[in-house]
């Protein structure tokens, strides 16, 4: 991976957790999007790296099989020469799973996926590098 160019920002994007357990696959988390541009996918113990110009971006992640998942889009501001670490987490949403099959069927959403700041796991391996122009 090339060194970060002066004046650019770098973002490390990793698969996160749900209830303290690492998310394993793209069925749980990913792909990752920045300004609606697909950046890539990763799974447990993997990460993506994106270099981009400073500014504010809308970023989100969503499972490849998003049935009953709410995708939360968030705004992130990146400064020149800044490196950020974001993880795509998933959490329960609503009461659907608490009421068995009837609750699941009646619920619009069972989970929510979202990106937030979290240090990169040092055992994580790089699977993709991209530079947004």
Q: Please, are residues 93 and 68 in contact by the beta-carbon 8 Å criterion?
A: no
pLDDT band of residue 96 (cuts 50, 70, 90) is: low
Secondary structure letter of residue 106 according to DSSP: H
State the Cα–Cα distance between residues 48 and 50, nearest whole angstrom. Answer: 7
Q: How many CA atoms lie within 13 A of 27 on its CB side?
A: 1
Cα–Cα dist 120/18, whole Å = 16
pLDDT band at 1 (very low <50, low <70, confident <90, very high): confident
Fold classification of 9-120 (topology level): Immunoglobulin-like (2.60.40)
pLDDT digits (tens, 9 = 90+) for 2-37: 999 999 999 999 887 655 656 555 555 668 899 999
For 51, the enclosing helix (H) or strand (E) is strand 46-52
> 72-92, pLDDT tens digit by residue?
899 999 999 999 999 888 777
pTM for the whole structure: 0.80
């Amino acid at each position: 991976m090339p060194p970060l160019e002066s004046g650019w920002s770098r973002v490390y994007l990793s698969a996160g957790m749900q209830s303290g357990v690492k998310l394993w696959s793209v069925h749980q988390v990913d792909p990752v999007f920045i300004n609606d541009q697909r950046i890539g996918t990763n799974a447990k113990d993997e990460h993506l790296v994106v270099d981009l110009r400073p500014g504010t971006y809308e970023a989100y992640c969503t499972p490849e099989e998003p049935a009953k998942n709410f995708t939360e889009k968030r705004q992130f501001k990146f400064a020149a020469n800044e490196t950020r670490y974001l993880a795509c987490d998933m959490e329960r949403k609503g009461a659907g799973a608490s009421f068995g099959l009837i609750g699941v069927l009646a619920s619009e959403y069972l989970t929510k996926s979202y990106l937030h700041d979290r240090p990169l796991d040092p055992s994580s391996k790089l699977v993709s590098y991209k530079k947004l122009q």
